[in-house]
Structures are given as C-alpha cells and as structure tokens.
C-alpha cells in the first residue's frame, strides 16, 4: 500500500482536508454498456436538475473553491476537475469516454462533486505527499498543456509533482498497461461524504474494472 501524507502547510491552510484513497488491481478496457448506461443516466439527472450557476454552490465544490483561494489560487482560472466535468454535463457536452477505469472515476466525480485523482500506481515512485505548488513549478496537464501549479494543492512523489485537483500529469495517467490503480478522492470539507463516495467507487471498480486486492484508507 502506498504511503500518503498531507503537508503541514496545506493542512494549516485547509484544516478540514481529508483524502479517501482506494488501491486496486484492475483490467483497463473500453467501458461496457452497463457502465455507459449508468453514466448517461447520471448525466440526464444532472442536466435536468442543475444550471451552470448552481455548480459552484455544491458543497464539495464550494469547499474546494474556498481551499484554492486559501492557497492563493484563483478557482475560476484554475478550475477544479469536478467543476469542469459538471459544466460540460450541464452545457450538454457530456463526458469524454476514455476507458472503464477513468470513466467510472468521472462518474463518481460528477455524482459527488469531489475532484478525484486517478493514477497508475506502478508509475509512482516512493511515498506521496500532498502539499502546495512551488514558485515557477509546472507540469503538462492531461489535455491542458503547461499548467502552472504554483500555490495549487499538489501530489508529489520522489520524482516530483504529478497531480492536482485541477489536472493530473501524463507521467502517472491510466493507460492500457495499468494494472494497479490508485484513486484519491479529495475533500476539503471533512470526511462525512467521503464514505459513500468511496463505497460507490469500489462498487464501480468491482463491477466494471474487474477490481481485486482492493484496499481502502483515509488520510487526514
């Protein structure tokens, strides 16, 4: 099991921060019809119940936006991944279909409002620390190009930064070669809603990603 910690500086700025973590062996493939059906049902529900202005008021997203401001980052310019996904859904653009592992992660994210990191655990070197981006620090975000991560909450391993609640890096992204998957649900408002979100993620991983050797743990 990978070791994950939260830096003292980030914890001071975001005292309610908790992480819901799942590790599992998975088989990466195209999403099956039943997973696609679950995603489409949730998209329909969201489209019928939300408008753009409602998204920032969702508790998990409101807490995350507040955390970004506490860290010194503009959440309107560096949009949270959960907020970006929900804006796509409410705008009628749907979700990109990537693979079963990423697609189930996106389903959990739009269902809960949590920004979620999804990583190929085999590409992570050593322990993980969740801290604050340093001055002039950057990496290429998946689908975004260069991402200035200064003052963003950021995951690091021995090789450097690889993930933020805005966008993760290609170095640790899930691919057809991924066999061990690490999923990190990021809650800036405590752990009350992490449990049902984690339960949902484990069910989806088992149902649609052939997940085995599943480990769940929380970090606070």
Tokens 């936006």 belong to residue: 65
pLDDT of residue 144: 78
Name the strand (E) or helix (H) holding 147.
strand 145-148
The per-residue pLDDT for 104 is 98
Please tell me the distance from the alpha carbon of residue 61 to that of residue 83, in angstroms, as a whole number.
7
Kindly report the CATH number that applies to the domain delimited by 4-219. 3.50.40.10
Residue among 211, 47, 201 at smallest CA distance from 112: 201
User: Which pLDDT value is given to residue 192?
Assistant: 85
pLDDT tens digits in sequence order for the chain, 220 residues long: 899 999 999 999 999 999 999 999 999 999 999 999 999 999 999 999 999 999 999 999 999 999 999 999 999 999 999 999 999 999 999 999 999 999 999 999 999 999 999 999 999 999 999 999 999 888 888 877 788 999 999 999 999 999 999 999 999 999 999 999 999 999 999 878 899 999 999 999 999 999 999 999 999 9
- Identify the pLDDT of residue 137: 84
According to DSSP, the β-strands at 128-132 and 153-157 are antiparallel
Domain ranges of the chain: 4-219
CA 127 to CA 47: how far, in whole Å?
40
Phi/psi for 199 (5° steps) reads: -60, -45
């Amino acid at each position: 099991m990978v070791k994950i910690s939260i830096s003292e500086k980030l914890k001071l700025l975001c005292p309610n921060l908790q992480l819901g973590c799942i590790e599992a062996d998975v088989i990466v493939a195209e999403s099956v019809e039943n997973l696609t059906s679950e995603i489409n049902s949730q998209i329909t529900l969201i489209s019928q119940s939300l408008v753009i202005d409602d998204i920032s008021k969702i508790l998990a997203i409101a807490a995350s936006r507040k955390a970004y401001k506490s860290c010194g980052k503009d959440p309107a310019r560096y949009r949270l991944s959960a907020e970006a996904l929900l804006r796509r859904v409410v705008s009628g653009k749907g979700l990109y279909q990537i693979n079963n592992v990423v697609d189930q992660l996106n389903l959990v994210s739009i269902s809960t409002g949590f920004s979620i990191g999804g990583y190929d655990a085999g590409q992570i070197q050593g322990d993980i620390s969740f801290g604050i981006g340093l001055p002039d620090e950057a990496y290429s975000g998946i689908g975004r190009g260069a991402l200035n991560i200064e003052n963003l909450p950021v995951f690091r391993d021995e090789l450097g930064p690889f993930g933020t609640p805005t966008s993760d890096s290609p170095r640790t992204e899930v691919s057809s070669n991924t066999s061990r998957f690490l999923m990190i649900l990021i809650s800036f408002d405590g752990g009350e809603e992490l449990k049902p979100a984690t339960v949902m993620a484990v069910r989806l991983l088992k149902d649609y990603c052939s997940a085995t050797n599943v480990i769940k743990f929380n970090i606070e």
